[in-house]
Amino acid sequence: MDFNPCMKHQLIRKTVREFAESEIKPHVSLMDAESRFPWEIVEKMKPLNFFGLQVPRDYGGAGLDTISYAIAIEELSRVSAALGLCVTVHNSVGIFPILKFGTTEQKEKFVPAMARGDSIGAFCITEANAGSDAGGVETNAVETMDAFVLNGTKIFVTNGGVCGTILVFAISETENKKNRASVFIVEKDRPGFSVGEIEDLCGMRANPVSSLFFEDCKVPKTNLLGKLGQGINIGLTALDTGRIGIAAQALGIAQAAFESSVSYARERQQFNKSLSKFQTIQNYLADMATKIDASRLLLYRSAACKDGNKPFSSEASMAKLYCSATAKEVTDMAVQIHGGYGYSKEYDVERYFRDAKVTQIYEGTSEVQKMVIARSILSQSS
């Protein structure tokens, strides 16, 4: 096993970090304070293929491997977790299911615009009565002669306020009564589709999370993704891929908090010496560095499994579970190291602290990740 990153991966990290530092970082605090999605930055991201990271070149994407993808999300999230969230959700649960389950016509129609960033993707499962329980979805799709008519409400939709292509998880009539969930591709200009108010959230405030409403929203039958009743399979496959992206996002947040803490510990003076001279602070930094390193190894292992066409569901859940816990723990220690300043919006660690928590919730809570991991363990022959 080679733990040394190849030149390609080093170049991707360098390129994304330089872009994030120069083009995103100067605006992050204001984006967070105003809950503002930075369209002007998105325009600069488009030519660099951020919105088509793993899309094949035939469809206008960068065609990157999954480790490269994870590095890109990590580096974006190190500066702006909210933009990192936009990009990973767009790529992993927005585009990937179309590439994996879509027809040639669907790929040609939807993927190029998404890869360019001209149409931002969203994936809608969560409802008022269906969060971790995907089987509790109440949004329904009624089949007519030439279309499906959707009715229902999705909540807490990442990219909801800016989405152009939406994958909607809905119940439909199928021959198999146990598999009634299907996935439909909905364009934002479809009559009957509307966007709710942007949520006023604790963290990730520059990502426009919102509710989406479907009121007699008519979509052609050609917009059915996969087959009727295949929704659970599509959803689980998309979420496995999405968890790699969220793990990378959490890792980026933790890395940023760690770097800020090292810098602050060296500069801050107490009792006539720098904080870095105190054993307690050194212990914090050692714990942070160890957790981050372990997180990165779990993340890259899951990405390598996916690239090697090996099963990666359990590995992705382990990475997401551990990376999100690391983000929460490391940002908590970062605030503690900064003391009162860590609780002030004048310092970035306050934002890292707020952004970290939700990585333990979306794309499957930590409890759901443990269920996936345990199921994998118990399904193995003794």
Q: What gap in Å lies between CA 254 and CA 256, rounded to an integer?
A: 5
Q: Which domains does the chain have, with CATH numbers?
A: 7-119 (1.10.540.10), 122-232 (2.40.110.10), 235-379 (1.20.140.10)
Q: What gap in Å lies between CA 284 and CA 105, rounded to an integer?
A: 53
| Other Cβ atoms within 10 Å of 380 Cβ, number | 7
Q: What gap in Å lies between CA 305 and CA 299, rounded to an integer?
A: 10
pLDDT band at 244 (very low <50, low <70, confident <90, very high): very high
- Which among 74, 199, 350, 363 is annotated as catalytic? 363
* Mean pLDDT calculated for residue range 183-203: 97
Nearest CA-CA partner of 376 in 322, 284, 314, 308 = 314
What mean pLDDT is reported for the chain? 95
Q: What gap in Å lies between CA 153 and CA 212, rounded to an integer?
A: 6
pLDDT at res. 380: 83
pLDDT per position as a tens digit, 83-113: 999 999 999 999 999 999 999 999 999 999 9
Q: What gap in Å lies between CA 51 and CA 90, rounded to an integer?
A: 7
Is residue 234 within 8 Å of residue 101, measured between CB atoms? yes
Q: Is the pLDDT of residue 168 over 70?
A: yes
Q: Which residues pair with 122 in a beta bridge?
A: 166
* Mean pLDDT calculated for residue range 235-254: 96
Nearest CA-CA partner of 362 in 53, 86, 137, 34 = 86
Q: Which residues pair with 166 in a beta bridge?
A: 122, 186
Is residue 206 within 8 Å of residue 38, measured between CB atoms? yes
For this structure, is 363 an active site residue?
Answer: yes
pLDDT band at 311 (very low <50, low <70, confident <90, very high): very high
Q: What single-letter amino acid sits at 355?
A: D
